[in-house]
Amino acid sequence: MENFRLRSFTALMGIILSLIMLTPNFINVDKMWWFTKKKLNFGLDIQGGLHLVMGVDINSAMAESVLRLSNQLKSEFNEKKIIFQDVKTVSGSQTGELDISYLDPSHKAAISKYIEDRYATMLQITGEEGQILKYRYFDSYLTDYKSRVLQQAIETIRNRIDEFGVAEPSISAQGTDHIIIQLPGVTDAEQAKSLINTSAKLDFMMVDNSKKPDELQNMITEAEKKGNYELKGMKYSQYVTKLNEDLKSQLPEKTMVLFEKAPTAATMEAGKMPFLVRTDTGLGGDALDDAFVTFNEYGAPEVSLVFNASGAAKFAELTGQNIGKLMAISLDKVIKSAPSINTKISGGRAVITLGSSRDRQTAMNEAKMIATSLRAGALPATLEQLEERRVGPTLGSDSVGKAKFASLIGALLICIFMLIRYKASGIVAVITLALNVVFSLALLSSLGATLTLPGIAGIALTIGFAVDSNVLIFERIREELHHGASFKGALREGFNRAMSAILDANITTGATAVILLNFGTGPVKGFAVTLLIGIATTLFANVFISKVLMDTVIHKWKKEHFSI
């Protein structure tokens, strides 16, 4: 009896929790407390929007990279007193070719040794022509560089679109030089395209310590209270602009308040850390050539920065004048890191260390995030629009309407069949089938998932294979009754003996869904997610709750038998 009560309680809690998860889809809970505020989002194929395919001019980015490297080598050779004649790029090269010429054969050894010591993982020598050493990028470096350019472009576009306020945008790489951008619900296509091609703003700013952290936080709290606003419900850029306007009279000249997301916080709203930074540093993203993850002598990840010639000079001057102070690295007014300056940094290179109070994987993820964010300060290559499709809301409504209609007709036919075939037991199947759909939508809502037409197809398929579990159970109960078992015994054995077949069917379906999830893209993944969720809800609703309902009729309502 205790086991029955526990199962009944579990089933009831599952239903209540599902209804709680679904509530934000029907009631606006943004301005009230609720257990969760996540809800289903609708994809481009349902609510319409903008579909773009952008081509990334990686070859031009490669040419710029080689040109920067040639200028950098000239600067380094002069600094190290290495005698050379010239460093030239090879026009039209797609593999990063460089020609380093020298006047006297005695100079060759110094040039070769320097390249081997400083650029062993980047440049390989391909031959000599007279007094010219010919170098090119390693294939592995080329592949990594092209991948970084593409990912950097994606990250920059994502930063821009997040500011645009699009819910659940889809931005993904296609091949080695194309990016697919899907913006559900966007009606102003020209504004969206303009925003995508706008570069993010990167700044290196000195932290002003004239205000203590507690004093600064109190000022922010009072300004929010007085102005009756907070970050939640506002765009970050709007919040920062309004806050600094309200605090202008209380802050020192040429300073402003910016925020960094706390390491343990999921969002900026959940944990924002204020910094008072100077706005007159004059060192921005145009001074940075590259940022990438490297490792120190102990194997710990860190972020290496490479400045251009003018940026290197400015950075050396800035760090020399501010030893012992913090430098905030800001991307679109969001502070990504605020390292301490320990010494003057010259040579155009710097390193952001991440400390040792974290595990290696966490540090690696943070290093990648910072490096990607820094590189996202500007688009790394020119974007060319290759394709544009504007999906109207009428098309989306029509598509989702037909999908809903097909799903409802399929569900109705299944319900009619179950009621005719299994009579009273069919009612149990219909109830659990409805609960199955509720549980599926609740789980999708809790994940903040984007529902697309393939996702609706996955739910429709779930309805089909969910009722199959009830068919297996009911037929097994019929077989036990035919062999002379009591109804209670047939019910118990029917569920027990049908479980192996149910598990086999769902495990094989789940294996297929996992393969689709790992190797599929876009709509295929959406279909796989709903399929996997459908498997979980089927086992809970059409097996577990089905057993609870039938046990309730037998044990609580004292029915010795009902039609099946």
Same domain (yes/no): 529, 404: yes
Same domain (yes/no): 480, 530: yes
In this structure, is residue 155 part of a structural domain? no
* 206 beta partners: 327
Same domain (yes/no): 42, 79: no
In this structure, is residue 187 part of a structural domain? no
* Res 257: pLDDT: 94
Mean pLDDT by 10 residues, the chain (564 residues): 80 92 82 77 74 84 81 86 89 81 89 90 90 91 87 77 64 86 75 63 85 90 91 83 91 91 78 90 75 80 81 86 88 80 80 62 72 61 75 61 78 89 90 92 84 81 85 90 86 89 90 87 80 92 90 79 77
DSSP string, 51-82: EEEEEE-HHHHHHHHHHHHHHHHHHHHHHTT-
Same domain (yes/no): 67, 35: no
> Residue 25 sits in which domain range?
2-48+393-556
Same domain (yes/no): 300, 349: yes
In this structure, is residue 193 part of a structural domain? no
* Res 357: pLDDT: 47
pTM attached to this predicted model: 0.54
In this structure, is residue 163 part of a structural domain? no
CATH of the domain at 492: 1.20.1640.10
Hey, is 355 helix, strand or coil? coil
CATH of the domain at 241: 3.30.1360.200
Q: Of 346, 375, 404, which marks where a domain is finished?
A: 375
In this structure, is residue 420 part of a structural domain? yes
In this structure, is residue 195 part of a structural domain? no
Question: How far is the C-alpha of 298 from the C-alpha of 420, rounded, in Å?
Answer: 72
Helix (H) or strand (E) holding 301: strand 301-307
Structural tokens at position 59: 């070859």
Same domain (yes/no): 42, 109: no
CATH of the domain at 78: 3.90.1070
Question: How far is the C-alpha of 248 from the C-alpha of 231, rounded, in Å?
Answer: 18
* Number of domains the chain contains: 3
DSSP string, 414-465: HHHHHHHHHTHHHHHHHHHHHHHHHHHHHHHHHTTPEE-HHHHHHHHHHHHH
User: Do β-strands 450-451 and 41-42 pair in parallel, antiparallel, or remain unpaired?
Assistant: parallel
Question: How far is the C-alpha of 531 from the C-alpha of 284, rounded, in Å?
Answer: 47
Same domain (yes/no): 109, 35: no
* Res 194: pLDDT: 67
* Res 408: pLDDT: 82
* Res 95: pLDDT: 79
In this structure, is residue 515 part of a structural domain? yes
Same domain (yes/no): 269, 289: yes
Do the Cβ atoms of 157 and 183 come closer than 8 Å? Answer: no
* Res 165: pLDDT: 58
Same domain (yes/no): 464, 543: yes
Same domain (yes/no): 362, 258: yes
Radius of gyration of the chain (CA): 31
* Res 246: pLDDT: 92
Same domain (yes/no): 325, 407: no
Structural tokens at position 524: 């295929």
Q: Of 88, 110, 141, which marks where a domain is finished?
A: 141
Q: Of 100, 126, 141, which marks where a domain is finished?
A: 141
Question: How far is the C-alpha of 503 from the C-alpha of 426, rounded, in Å?
Answer: 21
Same domain (yes/no): 95, 212: no
In this structure, is residue 109 part of a structural domain? yes
DSSP string, 262-310: -TT-SSTTT-EEEEEEES---EEGGGEEEEEEEE-TTS-EEEEEEE-HH
| Amino acid at the residue 237 | S
